[in-house]
Amino acid sequence: MKFYIFLLSLNLAISENGFFGSQCDEGCVFAETVVITSESIKNFPSNCSRICANLEFNDNSNLSEIELLPMFQNLKELFGSLKFVNTNFESASFLASLAVIECDSGGFFKFENNQNMKEIGMKSLIRCVCDFEVSLAPKLEKLNFPLLKNFTHSSGNISQVEMSISNVSSNFCITFQEMQHFMMNENLFLKNFTGHFCKQPGKYCADVCEIESSNIYFRCEIMSGSIVVNSENQLISDALNTVKWIFGNLKIENTNMTKFHVLNSLEYVVSLDNSNAIEIVGNRELVEISIPNLKRVQTNQKRWLQIQGNNEKLTDFVIEQDQFCKTLTNYNGENQFVSEIDGKICDQQNSGGSNFGIIRISIIFIFSFFFTN
């Protein structure tokens, strides 16, 4: 008997021609990769609302933002990629009508080394299925993506989209609304995100309670700031039972409580500084705590949760609770955010939980054939 094994590795990437051909009419396919200049723009299909192209704006792009505006005013959907590198543009607002950008497996949506850019300014963008990266933009102060909330492929296939923002202005900020849109979409992973939350006038900001440390007298669904529960305010800590969002961080420290079950509504915690999203430290009497509906956290360090120096019984209690041992993984299955209990990384496999996050999978088929003489 002879035994043969054939290994077939499927490359899931679609060729550019195949990808473009499946998305756009023939007359709306631009050159596969093109730098936009006064010469190349002559062939741009400016009457098409859906265009397939890999567009690049760089230091050879000799058209101003005002000159580019009429050429892109009809563009609603872009399939391919979009790159701004070494430009003098102050924004990409000439693409303000763009509602959808979708990349193939090798595509990208990137802003790199744009020294004068102050905002991205794509106010109509609703769906983005590309890894999004901004770097080396020292004047960038905001994204201005008020509608961006969908990161799902048009085919319905689930894939993780990464967002990275680094080396921007110290004044860079993101609105509460933008961050809510990002956090509520499981397809998006905020790989690197520096900045702070914008001070927002108007009704939306009126719905956000800005908390000064241990001042937690408000009953709100959205809180902003560093929230501290301690021995001085623990008697009114049930004010937190309505909070769903914390834009900042939460610290429960040095209380005399034995049980803390007031965070039943909490779903999201977003910390943009280098602090833990949640800390539970120095509570010598505390034996039980719960955050039963926690969905996602975001922080700029590896550890999202620290539990340290509490009653020994609390350690036994929390390692049995799935919400405390949640581990956020990237598409390679690597841990991005972990929880630490008494100096040790909480092992979710032992606690009976399951990882949450999106895992990108490459598929290998193995075919075995048996032949006999």
**pLDDT for position 216:** 60
Cα(292)–Cα(178) distance, integer angstroms: 25
What's the whole-number mean pLDDT along residues 272-292?
Answer: 94
**Mean of pLDDT values over 200-224:** 69
Q: What is the mean pLDDT of the chain?
A: 83
For residue 187, give the nearest of 70, 364, 16, 356 by alpha carbon: 356
Q: Model confidence at 212, in pLDDT bands (50, 70, 90)?
A: low
Residue 117 pLDDT > 90, yes or no?
A: yes
Overall average pLDDT of the 310-314 stretch? 96
Residue 351: pLDDT band (50, 70, 90) is very low
Please, are residues 163 and 193 in contact by the beta-carbon 8 Å criterion? yes
Q: What is the DSSP letter of 349?
A: H
Could you report how far apart the first and last alpha carbons of the chain are, in Å?
6
Phi, psi for 323 (deg, rounded to 5):
-65, -20
Name the amino acid, one letter, at 330. Answer: N
Query: Do 255 and 281 touch, CB atoms closer than 8 A?
Result: no
Q: How confident is the model at residue 352 (pLDDT cuts 50, 70, 90)?
A: very low
Helices (H), 29-130: 65-72
Overall average pLDDT of the 61-77 stretch: 97
Task: State both tokens at 292.
Answer: 């039963």
Domains and CATH numbers, the chain: 6-197 (3.80.20), 207-351 (3.80.20)
Cα–Cα distance, 268 to 185 (Å, whole number):
12
Indicate the range of 21-25, 47-51, 244-248, 252-256 predicted with least confidence: 21-25
pLDDT at 6: 32
Q: In a 3-state reduction of DSSP, which class is residue 44?
A: coil
What does DSSP assign to residue 328? E
> Residue 220 — very low, low, confident or very high, per pLDDT cuts 50/70/90?
confident
pLDDT in tens, 152-196: 888 777 678 999 999 999 999 999 999 999 999 888 888 888 899
The predicted pLDDT at position 308 comes to 96
Is the pTM here over 0.95, yes or no?
no
CA nearest neighbour of 345 among 364, 319, 317: 319
Percent with pLDDT over 70 in the chain: 81
The span from the CA of 68 to the CA of 221, in Å, is: 43
Residues in the chain: 373
